[in-house]
Every structure is written in C-alpha cells, then in structure tokens.
Amino acid sequence: MKDLAAELGVSISTVSRALKNSPEISKEMCERVKTLAKKRNYRPNPFAMSLLKNSPRLIGIIVPDIVTHFYSSIISGISDVARKNSYSVIITSTYEQYELEKQSLEDLINIRVEGIIACLSQETTDYSHFDHLADQNIPLVFFDRVCLTEKFSSVITDNVESAQKATEHLLATGSKRIGFIGGSNHLEIVQQRKHGYLQALRDHKIPIEKELVFCKKIDYKQGYEGACTLLSQANPPDAILAMTDSIAFGAMRAIKEKGLRIPEDVALIGYTDEAHSNYVDPPLTAVTHQTYKMGEAACNLMLRRLKGTEKPKQIVVPALLSIRESSVKNRV
Amino acid sequence: MKDLAAELGVSISTVSRALKNSPEISKEMCERVKTLAKKRNYRPNPFAMSLLKNSPRLIGIIVPDIVTHFYSSIISGISDVARKNSYSVIITSTYEQYELEKQSLEDLINIRVEGIIACLSQETTDYSHFDHLADQNIPLVFFDRVCLTEKFSSVITDNVESAQKATEHLLATGSKRIGFIGGSNHLEIVQQRKHGYLQALRDHKIPIEKELVFCKKIDYKQGYEGACTLLSQANPPDAILAMTDSIAFGAMRAIKEKGLRIPEDVALIGYTDEAHSNYVDPPLTAVTHQTYKMGEAACNLMLRRLKGTEKPKQIVVPALLSIRESSVKNRV
DNA sequence: TTGAAAGCGTTACCAG
DNA sequence: CTGGTAACGCTTTCAA
C-alpha cells in the first residue's frame, strides 16, 4: 500500500480510502488507485486487519476425528457455509481423548478464532474447559454429542425417533422378532436409540426380551459377534437393528456366514451414509443422518451468535430412513 | 501486555523479555511476570506476531473433497505433523472443480498461509495459477495428483508399480483377459496406473486390446457403466482392475447385476481403504494407499521447504496389495 | 478531497 | 538488567 501511494504520488490514507470506495474521494482518484492495485497484485494484509479489529474471520472446529464420514461430512457443511460468509475454518481432532480436546481448545483460543464449533470426545465427562469459554465470551456451538445446553447452542439428531421409526418399519414389512445391537450403555446415543427401539415394541404391545438386546462396543467386531450371539439362540430374531454403520456391516457378514438370506431370513437396518449403504449386497436400509445439513445448521448458529448475542438454541436435524433392500420381507 | 507492565510497574519491553526467558533478565523479575501473566490469563496475540514476522504458522491444504476417506486420511497425517510443529492448517475443498480450485488458492494466499499443500482437481488442465506461486515465493507441495514437478515437491504413490503388481496378481491367480477402468486421461495417475497395467500385459506377452480399457471419469457411476460396457462385449474380460474405490464399487454392482460371480466369472481388484474393502461381499482385493503416511510426508516436505530453500523433491510412498477374496480364481 | 498522525500488540534495537 | 522507540500494514480521526 505504501508502494502504491508512492507510485501514485498520493498519501497512504488516500489509497486506503480509494480502495474501499470512501464516498469522499474523487472518482478519478479512486479508479487510478484501483487500477494500479490490480496491476501490482495488491492484497490487503489480514493480520493488520485482525490486529486492528480483532476479528480474524476464523472459526475453529473440534471433532473426534476427521476420517469418519459422519464428521467429515459435517465439517464439509460447516466450512461451505463459513466460506460463503468469508470465514475460514481451522479443524482439530481429539481422537476421542479428553486431554487432546483440552489441548485443541487451548490452541484455538490462542489462535484467536472468533468462535468454536465442537463435538465432545467419548472420554470427556468433565466440561469445565468448555464452561470457561462462556466467561471469556467466546461463542461455542456443540453438535451431536453435546453438553451445557443452557449455556451453548447445539445441533443434534432425533435419536429416539429415528430408532423408533426404523423399528416400526421392520414391523410393518413383515418382521416379528427384532434384535438390537448397540454400544456401551453410558453413551447417550446408545440409550436414546435403544429407547426408541423399545418404545416401538411397547407401542405394538410386543413383549420386550432382554436376550434380543446386545450392547458391548461400537465397532465391526462387536457387530459381528452381536449378530452371531443373537442368531444362535434357540428362538433367534428375524430382524436386527444395528446402531451404527460398522456394527451393521459386521452383522451383515455374520448373517451371511450363517447361510441366512437378507431380508428373507433376517432383515437388517443400520445407520450409515448414502454411499456405503449402496455398496453392499443387498443394499442396506439405513437411518441416514443429514450430516451436511447438520454442519450448515451449526455454522449458521455460530454466525448468528457472532453477529448479535443470541440465546442458546437447540436445532434438531431429523435423520431419514432410507429404505433399500435389506429390510423389506413382504414386497408388495 | 500493557496492563501487565502497568500492574507490575515495569516497562512493556521488560515484560516481553521476561515472557520469553531472555537471558538478560533477573530471574526474580522473570518469575513475577510469568506468574501474573498466568493469573491474568494472558495470551500473546498471534496477529501482532504475524504482522511483525509475516509468518502466521499456518499451512493451507487444497483437496478435491474432505469426505473421501483417501483425502481425509491424508489431511489427518498432514495436520498431525503440522500441529506437532505448532502449525495450524486451513482446509479448502475444490469439489473437483477448476474454478473452485483457483478460488481456494486465491483465498489461501489472501489469508497469507506460509505454504500450500494441494491435490489437483479432476477438471484442472491449466496449471498457471499454481505456476504463479513460484514467483510469489510461496512454497507448494503436491500430493497424489501432481504437476509442474520440476518446480514443486510432491508426494506420490507408486502408481505404475501398484497397477502392475495388481495385474500380475490377477494373471497369477487364473485370470486371462483383464479389463481396466480408469478416469480422464489427462490425469497423471490415470496414465501411470494404466501404464502399469499395460506393462504387466506386455511382460506376459498378452496382446493389448483397446476395447478392454474404459476411461471416463472417476466416480461410482462411471465404474458401473464401465463394467457394463466391458462385460457386454462379444468377448468380455474375466477380470477387471478398477482404478479407485468408487469405480470398484460401481463395477462390483454391475457384475452382480449381470448375474456373474466374483471372482469365478469376473475377478475384481480396486483401490480402497482397509475398512470398506472388508464390508463388501466378497471382500475386495485392493491396492491400499498408506494415506496417513503420505500426509505426514507431504507436511514434512513443506516444513523443510519452509525452513530453508530446498530443491523440489519427490517422495514415493508405496501402496500395498491387500489380497482378499474378489480376485483369486484358482484357490490352491 | 486529501494528508498527517495515532494506534492495534508485539519484538528488537539502542541507550542507559 | 531495564526502558524507550521504531517498525509491521492498515484504518481512522483530525486538520488542512
């Protein structure tokens, strides 16, 4: 900018004003400056700006990991909305560890992000590090795994409803005895989805059988073992609701290895993204989270907080039941 | 910092020095300053630093998208190395579009990242926007899909070798006529993988047939259509080498829909990550990229460039052939 | 309509 | 060992 001023023989202030179309400047001058600026490939230095205004137009994101489709898709939604509002995003991963979560938070604050969008790690049970943000007046929005909802806005999915709907779909399409494979009971999403499953059974006056519920860990192996356990019972289920994608794929393998047909012998519903549900055989009926939308919602919540102080708000982005071939016994 | 100085009754310079353990300051003073700094929750303002040193400790990443496992895993590798060296990363997605790639590049330069790590979009055939970076002296490292290799460092996989090995594996396990499904020919990885495939055929004195090669775009749909086209020929192949994961899954569906068995009728090899290869039926033999390692390598290359000017350098991270069930016709 | 100068938070150099 | 001051790039009064 100094160079531009020198080259045009005017002052720096003039250049500054010309560049932002200050109404109190001659059009001619304005044009001259802009032309030269373009020619010299001038770019405003954002650090000077940030230093001045203390608004770096930067949003921080904290996720358990970026490799899981669920998170990467949400990040995608967040950063697209951010970019459209000329914000940039910085992403940090906790790898589900409490210590790394604290570290990430610290880093983002040091970088002086304007706000933080976060999803809790599995390990986190103490929320004080987030609590402090309220004092420092740094906006925070949670998604999926949330806490301190009176203080901070959040975006969640309808876990109870989605599991309930999935169960009802199974009942409506010819399944009678439905098994459930979940994860550690202390996780809220496990409780909620199991709750939805049980609710559907209750609504249909179907007695609840403990043996049909298998809850250990959320991974492929436990999905496989869960299905093996359920199917080797004396009176095995004729349908399984699997609580996550890895569990569903593990269960699918177990069913096939037993020589059972999907959905004729055992119907199956999972929670997965669009693409991978279609890659398997038969295509998997699944609850699909509107992850991109969740990301957009989270970012919009943040942007609104950034503009004016708004009351904490929850947004529920409903999950969709994508019916494919793995669940429908009685084709019409 | 000003407040700290005032509160302690010393000058700002003293505080600054105390905070960075300048050897020319009394230990006592040093302690006093640090204690108060902690108490007042002082954090250095990174923008002032960046303004001063013009080094924001920020690295920009440009990827086709962040949702694909291949990219998210590489990003994971990059950002872990970056964080260990107290760099942050900013990620932008091109969604495979040339215009968005130019835009992303522009944005990152405006934000004043110290360097950029990029993977070309499928659309990109004109590299001048990257070429300009060399003039502006902004370090650039490419990965996977690369260009201008005399000017910029890059991290690639051994595309020729991996495709060659995969083809040879097919030949060694009973396949005779092998088809190839790839993407746009202007992409180097397409050329290289095709080259490896052809090389293997040549080595085995197998005549090359143009009709066995299908190269359009890299996505699920083209994988499906490619396989359909190949398999509906008068003399169809009995094996297919699919150049990416989405192509492989598309091809798998096409093969099944035609009522053909894998691998008995048509053997199939893809390029995918560990997890999803195992989810499909039959488990997919695949070339597995060491994506996290590639990310680490790219970031290390960048860090070295950032420290001293280094000559452009290529790093080859070999891919691994994970043999599963989809490829082996003649079980021993 | 334009120019001069202060100030944003920090470091570094030069004096004391 | 410590204080003063210039400088980083830009915006914004205040004066002319």
Q: pLDDT at residue A332 above 60?
A: no
Confidence band of A331 (pLDDT split at 50, 70, 90):
low
In angstroms, the CA of A42 and the C1' of C1 are apart by 24
Contact at CB, B88 and A90, closer than 8 angstroms: yes
Whether B128 contacts B101, CB under 8 Å: no
Confidence band of B292 (pLDDT split at 50, 70, 90):
very high
Name the token pair of B174: 């009973």
pLDDT of residue B134: 87
Q: What is the 3-state secondary structure (H, E, C) of chain A?
A: CHHHHHHHCCCHHHHHHHHCCCCCCCHHHHHHHHHHHHHCCCCCCHHHHHHHHCCCCEEEEEECCCCCHHHHHHHHHHHHHHHHCCCEEEEEECCCCHHHHHHHHHHHHHHCCCEEEECCCCCCCCCHHHHHHHHHCCCEEEECCCCCCCCCEEEECCHHHHHHHHHHHHHHCCCCCEEEEECCCCCHHHHHHHHHHHHHHHHCCCCCCHHHEEECCCCHHHHHHHHHHHHCCCCCCCEEEECCHHHHHHHHHHHHHCCCCCCCCCEEEEECCHHHHHHCCCCCEEEECCHHHHHHHHHHHHHHHHHCCCCCCEEECCCEEECCCCCCCCCC
| Any A CB within 8 A of B92 CB | yes
Q: What is the DSSP letter of B327?
A: S
Indicate the residue of A43, A46, A67 with minimum beta-carbon distance to B69. Answer: A67
Q: Half-sphere exposure (CA, 13 Å, Cβ side) for A244?
A: 22
Mean per-residue pLDDT of chain A: 92
Residues within 8 A of A (CB atoms), B 230-249 only: 246, 249
Q: pLDDT at residue B325 above 60?
A: yes
Confidence band of B87 (pLDDT split at 50, 70, 90):
very high
Q: pLDDT at residue B60 above 60?
A: yes
In angstroms, the CA of A13 and the C1' of D16 are apart by 14
Give the pLDDT confidence of A10-35 residue by residue, as tens digits.
888 888 888 888 777 888 888 888 88
Q: pLDDT at residue B91 above 90?
A: yes
Amino acid at A223: G
Mind telling me how many Å the CA of B301 is from chain A's nearest CA?
21
N-terminal to C-terminal alpha carbon distance within chain B: 74
Using alpha carbons, list the distances in angstroms from residue A23 to A26, A27, A30, A34, A86: 8, 9, 10, 15, 24
Mind telling me how many Å the CA of B115 is from chain A's nearest CA?
15
Dist CA B115 CA B92 (whole Å): 14
Read off the pLDDT of each residue in B158-178 and give the average, rounded to a whole number: 96
Q: pLDDT at residue B209 above 90?
A: yes
pLDDT of residue A315: 97
Read off the pLDDT of each residue in B218-242 and give the average, rounded to a whole number: 95
Query: Among B85, B116, B69, B117, which residue's Cα sits nearest to residue B290?
Result: B69
Report the nucleotide nearest the CA of residue A4, measured to C1': D9
Give the pLDDT confidence of A108-141 residue by residue, as tens digits.
999 999 999 999 988 888 999 999 998 888 999 9
Dist CA A269 CA A193 (whole Å): 13
| Any B CB within 8 A of A47 CB | yes
Amino acid whose CA is nearest the C1' of D10: A48
Indicate the residue of A66, A79, A110 with minimum beta-carbon distance to B43. Answer: A110
Read off the pLDDT of each residue in B131-154 and give the average, rounded to a whole number: 92
Using alpha carbons, list the distances in angstroms from residue A269 to A204, A285, B180: 19, 5, 34
| Any B CB within 8 A of A268 CB | no
Q: What is the DSSP letter of B264?
A: T
pLDDT of residue A328: 94
Q: Which residues pair with A153 in a beta bridge?
A: A141
pLDDT of residue A159: 95
pLDDT of residue A76: 97
For strand C, is any atom closer than 7 Å to the CB of B51? yes
For strand C, is any atom closer than 7 Å to the CB of B16? yes
- Coil, helix or strand for B29? helix
pTM confidence score: 0.90
Give the pLDDT confidence of A230-246 residue by residue, as tens digits.
999 999 999 999 998 88
Q: pLDDT at residue B331 above 80?
A: no
Alpha-helix runs per DSSP H in chain B: 2-8, 12-19, 27-39, 46-53, 69-84, 98-111, 128-136, 159-172, 188-203, 220-231, 245-257, 274-279, 291-307
Give the pLDDT confidence of A82-106 residue by residue, as tens digits.
999 999 999 999 998 999 999 999 9
Which chain A residue is nearest to residue B60, measuring alpha carbons?
A90
- Coil, helix or strand for B72? helix
pLDDT of residue A97: 93
Mind telling me how many Å the CA of A92 is from chain B's nearest CA?
8
Which chain B residue is nearest to residue A50, measuring alpha carbons?
B47
Whether B239 contacts B252, CB under 8 Å: no
Mean per-residue pLDDT of chain B: 92
Angle between helices A220-231 and A245-257 in degrees, nearest 10: 40
Owner of token pair 């690639």: B156
Give the pLDDT confidence of B1-52 residue by residue, as tens digits.
788 888 888 888 888 888 887 777 888 888 888 888 888 888 888 888 888 8
pLDDT over 90 percentage in chain B: 70
Strand C-proximal residues of B, range 30-49, CB below 7 A, are: 42-45, 48-49
Read off the pLDDT of each residue in B116-138 and give the average, rounded to a whole number: 92
Strand C-proximal residues of B, range 217-256, CB below 7 A, are: none
Query: Among A115, A80, A118, A119, which residue's Cα sits nearest to residue B67?
Result: A80
Report the nucleotide nearest the CA of residue B24, measured to C1': D1
Residues 6+ apart with CB under 8 A from A26: none
Dist CA A277 CA B72 (whole Å): 20
Contact at CB, B280 and A280, closer than 8 angstroms: yes
Confidence band of A215 (pLDDT split at 50, 70, 90):
very high
Amino acid whose CA is nearest the C1' of D12: A13
